[in-house]
Amino acid sequence: MSRRSELLSEFCVRLGMKSIWFRPVQLEDLEDHHPNTMMEHLDIRLTEIGPDYLRGTMPVDKRTHQPFGLLHGGASLVLAETLGSMASTMVINIDKQFCVGQEINANHLRSVRSGLVTGTARPYYLGKTSHVWGIEICNDKDQLVCVSRLTMAVRDNPQ
């Protein structure tokens, strides 16, 4: 987690900020939601739920490398979209609505050859029909590797 994200979290806790999640959620509640998916294939693991963020890790290894042995930018986007999509779904009442990705972009700032990268998704905007998330991805040394922005469409479940 970048120092900026860490300070923001501490600030929110000190202010007594309420959670943004629709209902209380524990990491254990989310563990069974990704068998046979990209999340399982890349070993993306959810590691922390804060009052206004969702955090997860992804290994940098042969599954996530590009041909030069570096973390593939597409793998970073998979981590970003996974965290933002899951967080967006946690904000809504899933009995009435669902979320789908609408747009994602990223800036790759630093290369990574091995270890774990950690992504943290925080909302920029939570509206009735769309959510916009900022995702910061850091390496093992807590250096910023990638910043991404994800827009999610919020739709009503078919009746």
Query: What average pLDDT score do residues 11-30 get?
Result: 80
Tabulate helix, strand, coil % of the chain (nearest 5): 25, 40, 35
pLDDT score of 6? 58
Range with lowest mean pLDDT among 5-14, 25-34, 97-106? 5-14
Based on the number of CB atoms within 10 Å of its own CB, is 149 exposed (0-12), middle (13-18) or buried (19 or more)? Answer: middle
Rounded to 10 degrees, the C-alpha dihedral 73/78/80/25 comes to -160
Q: Residue 73 corresponds to which tokens in the numbers above?
A: 């930018």
Rounded to the nearest integer, the mean pLDDT of the chain is 92
Reported confidence tier of residue 69, pLDDT bands at 50, 70, 90: very high
Instruction: Give every CB contact of residue 122 below 8 A, 6+ residues apart in sequence.
Output: 5, 8, 52, 53, 133, 134, 135
Of 98, 104, 135, 141, nearest to 120 by C-alpha is 135
Query: What average pLDDT score do residues 137-149 get?
Result: 98
Our answer to whether residue 103 is catalytic in this structure is no
Give pLDDT tens digits for 72-105: 999 999 999 999 999 999 999 999 999 999 999 9
Reported confidence tier of residue 12, pLDDT bands at 50, 70, 90: low
Catalytic residue selected from 10, 28, 48, 81: 81
Q: Residue 38 corresponds to which tokens in the numbers above?
A: 């990209």
Domains of the chain: 3-156 (3.10.129.10)
